[in-house]
Amino acid sequence: MLYLPEIPKNADPIPLKPKPAEIKPLDPSSNSIRLTDNIGQIPESADNVKPAPTSFYPDSAPSSVQPMLTWTVVPGAVYYELEFLAELPENPNTVFPAKNQLRLVRKIFTNGYNADLSWYKGNCIYWRVRALDLQGNLLGVFSDAAEVWLDRSLVPVTRPLTNNRMPATQPAPLYPAYAWIPVAGGVSYEVELTSRPPENPNGVEPSRHRIWSKIVTGVNDCYDDQPRRNSGRYYWRVRGMDAAGNPVGGYSDTADFTVAATRRQYAATFGDSITHGGGAISYSPADSDYSYQTYLYFPTVNLGKSGDTAATMLARFEQDVLPFKPNYLIILGGTNSLRGGIPATQVISELAAIRDKCLVHGIRPIFLTLPPINPETIALIFQEETVPGWREEFDAVNSFIRQQQYCIDIEPYFTDSSRKLPEHLSIDGLHPDIDGKQLMAQIINAHWSRVVR
């Protein structure tokens, strides 16, 4: 197993976050527990891996026939299955379906579900949920069963539920992402960003304070295509729309985030989606667990942008980096360029230009080497081909990066015996998942005092 030293006690003074629990490098043996429906017994620790219901509808506070059911996230889960029962299961917290199962809802790609129970004739129904990985292997057992009391006289509340999982203490990415629990009947969703709290909470009409909006279809998250550089507080909400484009109920409750770009930042991170955040197919930068910045010992502002190439990073440097005036800029870029066929010589030229811009403006550029990719998995998940010879091109760029005055070499820790990105660090072959993001942070933390000295 790898060992990386802790930051030395005599390191240069930096504005440290509270130190998280020690993060050990991870290997295949640390994978989430994988179970299948036909196994004979459950490993001893598996019953500790389960979602927990977070929405409750007791007899004293019943739901309409369209309850919003929510549960805690199981790290690494790609999707969930939800079981409805007429009574408590005879086999609580196991991998096996209950004998009295009424319905099983498959492939819910977020930690919530707006159920339509108009088909059920009783006054009380039970539900429980389990998490699965990409291949349909179970990640632990069914949750505890929760009851839902129904009052058919109640009018269903048909609005999405905002679902960003970013701590208030962690700055929003420069390019925010917005996530929600979908609403029954919603085919597409409109996200609205406002400069002030909307004057019509949960209404159906756009706010007069709207500064941006975007419509997305078939997903439960949305990426802002505009950088939010201006200091201040921003507000966002989302509404569902049917196939004809008509609103399905009103807007969600309003969520907010704050941007503070008026003072010089200690450090910033700059790159593509690996920097921006997200992973395990179902998670976006709205979930801080999938951002390596979450696990750093020092504060950063996230200037990543999903889809970036080395060329687009260079093109947006002045507008996106300089307003934050970071002392240190952690740079990870070129993966999308190389896998799309841009030659290493061009990527090296673009990274060198970013380096030179940093130095001109008094910013120390700290490069990360490129982790490998897994072309077969990328093709399976994204239906995108990777150019032949990608490995040699990655090697050439990493050779350049290792020659820089300030560089942190993360590539060896992400390479398996075939020199590809291993599945236990990345489900989709491109974006490191939680284990991978923690490992990235651990390596950076261990080398930070050296590169800022």
pLDDT digits (tens, 9 = 90+) for 199-229: 999 999 999 999 999 999 989 999 999 999 9
Residues 211 and 237 in one domain: yes
Which residues have a Cβ under 8 Å from the Cβ of 315 and sit 6 or more positions away? Answer: none
Count of all residues that appear for the chain in the document: 453
Dihedral angle over CA of 165, 408, 432, 391, nearest 10 = 150
pLDDT digits (tens, 9 = 90+) for 335-350: 999 999 999 999 999 9
Beta strands in 254-389 (DSSP E): 255-259, 267-271, 301-302, 328-332, 364-368
Residues 306 and 395 in one domain: yes
- Report the pLDDT value the prediction gives residue 7, as an integer from 0 to 100: 36
Last residue of a domain, one of 87, 115, 149: 149
Number of neighbours of residue 109 by Cβ within 10 angstroms = 15
Residues 119 and 215 in one domain: no
Last residue of a domain, one of 149, 182, 209: 149
The answer as to whether 230 is a domain residue is yes
Tokens of 112: 């919530």
Spell out a b/e string for 340-374, using b for 16 or more CB atoms within 10 Å of the CB, else e.
Answer: eebebeebbebbeebbebbeeeebbbbbbbbbbbb
pTM for the model: 0.87
How many distinct structural domains can be found in the chain? 3
Residues 282 and 404 in one domain: yes
Residue span of the structural domain in which 111 resides? 46-149
pLDDT digits (tens, 9 = 90+) for 226-283: 999 988 999 999 999 999 999 998 999 999 998 876 678 999 999 999 999 999 898 9
pLDDT digits (tens, 9 = 90+) for 279-296: 989 899 999 999 999 999
Which residues have a Cβ under 8 Å from the Cβ of 388 and sit 6 or more positions away? Answer: none
Last residue of a domain, one of 230, 259, 288: 259
Cα dist from 35 to 40, 76, 382, whole Å: 10, 14, 26
- Secondary structure element (H or E) that encloses residue 129, with its range: strand 124-132
Q: What is the CATH number of the domain that holds 388?
A: 3.40.50.1110
370 close to 332: Cβ distance less than 8 angstroms:
yes
Residues 330 and 415 in one domain: yes
Tokens of 180: 């929600």
Q: What angle do CA 31, 419, 450 make, to 5 degrees?
A: 80
Q: What is the CATH number of the domain that holds 122?
A: 2.60.40.10
20 close to 9: Cβ distance less than 8 angstroms:
no
The answer as to whether 102 is a domain residue is yes
Which residues have a Cβ under 8 Å from the Cβ of 213 and sit 6 or more positions away? Answer: 190, 191, 192, 193, 206
